[in-house]
Amino acid sequence: MKSCFLSLTIAAFFLTNCAVIRPGEVGVKQKLGKLSNKVHTQGTVFYNPFIARVIKVSIQTNNLELSLNLPSKEGLSVNSQISILYKINQEQVPYIIRNIGLRYETIISNVFRSASADVCSQYNAKDLHSGLRAEIEKAIKVKMMETLNTQGIQIDAVLMKSIQLPPGLSLSIEQKLQAEQDVMRMEFTLKQAKLEADRKIIEAKGTSDAQKIISEGLTSEIIKIRSIEAFIELSKSPNSKVIITDGKTPFLINQDK
């Protein structure tokens, strides 16, 4: 009985002194307040719960959502929903715990605010709502990486979502886009009309050239030959025919079937 109780006690002791590191996270042991430089990956880590603990940190790609106003070159304020995709450098986890702590999302948020203010102030508000958005996102990411990469935080992407321009600017942009579409539609109509006109000119020229070729080729000798060929074909037919001729060029004016 005593041996069974002793076995259970020993088993419970080892279970409480074991930390499980799951996939997508790492662990760093802290003993008597001193942080180890060794990073433990997935698996089990044994420690003395009376004098030590295991700090777990996620190294998966995380998404930090922010909602803030971005300044523009004109001094306007553009409201936007931001997604920052980031992850922690596994080898620098001890450094992060010592120097930044586990509330590093606050640091990322502050760095983004500074970087976005520097970058967005170089663009007009309408650029945030146009094809330049990808360029702005990339510039903010590069600016953030200059500060965070050395701190062990890697920025994978900065995504600007739900851009809300000031009402007056939105209306003017819509009007401009509508005007551009009208111009494009008119250019297309004019292009089609020009193509149709060119087609008719080419067709008319072709007809004229064909008539000119025919008229140049119809000499008196050719007409006589064609007349003889016509008489030959008529002679092969058993039907009665009436032919009036001036003695030079024959004409078929009636044919009984």
Q: Which of 164, 160, 163, 21 is nearest to 85 (CA)?
A: 160
For residue 172, the model assigns a pLDDT of: 58
% of residues, the chain, pLDDT over 90 = 28
What average pLDDT does range 99-108 have in this prediction?
90
Is 160 in contact with 133 (CB distance < 8 Å)?
A: yes
> Could you give phi then psi for residue 139, rounded to 5 degrees?
-65, -40
- The structure's pTM equals 0.58
For residue 9, the model assigns a pLDDT of: 47
Least confident of 146-155, 187-196, 203-212, 240-249: 240-249
For residue 43, the model assigns a pLDDT of: 87
In angstroms, the CA 175 to CA 164 distance is 17
Least confident of 41-45, 100-104, 249-253: 249-253
Q: Is the pLDDT of residue 254 over 50?
A: no
Structure token pair of residue 69: 């106003």
Structure token pair of residue 98: 């010592």
Structure token pair of residue 44: 């089990």
Cα–Cα separations (whole angstroms), residue 90 to 85, 141, 194, 201: 16, 20, 65, 74
Angle, CA of 48, 49 and 54, to the nearest 5°: 90
For residue 215, the model assigns a pLDDT of: 65
> Could you give phi then psi for residue 219, rounded to 5 degrees?
-85, 170
Q: Is the pLDDT of residue 237 over 80?
A: no
What average pLDDT does range 204-232 have in this prediction?
69
Mean pLDDT, rounded, of the chain: 78
pLDDT, tens digit (0-9, with 9 covering 90-100), for 35-94: 999 999 888 888 888 888 999 999 999 999 998 888 888 777 788 888 999 999 999 999
For residue 145, the model assigns a pLDDT of: 94
Greater pLDDT, 86 or 15: 86
In angstroms, the CA 46 to CA 38 distance is 13
pLDDT, tens digit (0-9, with 9 covering 90-100), for 123-181: 887 777 777 888 989 999 999 999 999 999 999 999 988 777 766 554 555 566 567 77
DSSP, collapsed to helix, strand or coil, labels residue 170 as: helix
Structure token pair of residue 202: 């080419």
